[in-house]
A = this chain, B = another copy of it.
Amino acid sequence: MKLYNWKGAPNPQRVIIFIKEKCLDVEIINVGHPTGASLSPDYLANNPHRLVPILELEDGTKIGEAMAICRYLETIYPAKTQLMGINPLDQAIVDMWERRADMEGLGAVGEVFRNSHPAFVNRGLPGQTENIPQISDLVVRGSKRLNLFFTKFDNQIGKNPYITGERFTVADITTFCATNFALKVCKLKIPQSCENFRRWHKSISSRPSIKN
């Protein structure tokens, strides 16, 4: 199996951390443009959805969308560490929080990034060939929304080690990738008042799947 990656992009990072946590043998292929801020022309020519990540199976079948890929790997390797819940209710709770991290965290930071970065003028939405103008109001809204996300997740974490309680899951992975992109690329900050979140972030950042 091969995973197509664009180094630094948060969506393939979700799958890469997932693969490392499960110790799976998947070849990572970087398809970022060698010099510009886009995917490579070869990759775009062969992938009409123009997005990463994509998992390519041995027979050439391609699966897109980070969580569809993670769930596929979770299902076909049942003996590896379970990262998407261990019974139907636990799975639902993990699914719910992963989804919130995606919509409210990654969605917010994506708004900020795509609508402010000079390399993405007229590329306000990923995966499109048409001109999509940047909307400066979305930079303001995205920052505000990201702070609401930090506060909500700070409350959810409370005294627990992980987003959904005692086990590390994909909800932690998506929350980390959103936060990491906000901090490293968009130069935003976790509010000082979000002490639980800051403690969680420090602890997650030291995991081997993330640190290396």
Contacts and interface: CB of A to CB of B under 8 A. Distances in A.
Interface residues of A, number: 35
Interface in A134-155: 135, 137-138, 141, 144-145, 148
A63 B76 contact: no
Contacts of A57: 89
B144 A64 contact: no
Contacts of A71: 91-92, 95
Contacts of A100: 49, 64-65
B61 A89 contact: yes
Given A65-B96, A130-B144, 7 more contacts: A63-B92, A64-B96, A67-B95, A67-B99, A68-B96, A72-B92, A132-B145
Q: What is the total number of copies of this protein in its complex?
A: 2
A72 B99 contact: no
A135 B125 contact: no
A205 interface: no
A12 interface: no
A88 interface: yes
Contacts of A105: none
